[in-house]
Homo-oligomer: A and B are copies of this chain.
């Protein structure tokens, strides 16, 4: 069997962040190797023989680039024969959510540069990575209304308006503040804290809120359905 006849397998990761000013942001690296050398691409790399797919993602991001994510989910497997111009490569794509505290990326051995880009202003990308990002965002958009993953994009303590803006950004539509807050608070898994945000310019200071994951797990077992149709 000729080596070139072996299908190779990689993982690619779409890491999303959220900032109120920028909206949804995506981590990209600039490739150091052919093909698509110097092009922007998703972080990722070959799966080693003995490691799980998730371990490969972790290794590429956490160990090699110092990046931490606090949510990771398999997205889809891309296997079009011509997606890599040199060699048949099947890629298992994941998407992950990153809190603002972990936004500063470190260049890895496979990348000469890493940076966050606004989802709505991405550069030309290598391979089918634009398509992967699009699919990842669609998944996020669908999932945020029935699983409490939005909180993974915010700091642990956040003003309620951040949550509102996050939902409006991801769902790409306006949401009534009063109805939204009523629905979220009614679920009983978001707590208002006595603390206020550090004052920042005009406006009444907001309380901080926190998602209570333990409470969510308990309520989930008793049949709670997290469902924000907004």
Contact = CB atoms under 8 A, between A and B. Distances in A.
A51 B7 CA distance: 11
A77 B92 contact: yes
Nearest to A90: B9
- What class of interface size applies to chain A in its complex with B? 20 to 34
A79 B7 contact: no
A223 interface: no
Interface string A2-46: 010111110000000000000000000000000000000000000
Contacts of A74: 76-77
Nearest to A76: B74
B77 A77 contact: yes
A52 B77 contact: no
Contacts of A5: 49
Grouping DSSP codes into helix (H, G, I), strand (E, B) and loop, the A interface class, with mixed when no group exceeds half, is loop
Nearest to A53: B79
Contact of A7 (B1, B3, B9, B81): B9
Interface string A36-71: 000000000001011111000000000000000000
Contact of A53 (B47, B52, B90): B90
Interface string A166-180: 000000000000000
A49 B80 CA distance: 11
A88 interface: yes
A2 to B, nearest CB: 9
A77 to B, nearest CB: 5
A7 B48 CA distance: 8
Contacts of A79: 47, 52-53, 92
Interface of A: 1, 3, 5-9, 47, 49-53, 74, 76-77, 79-81, 88, 90, 92
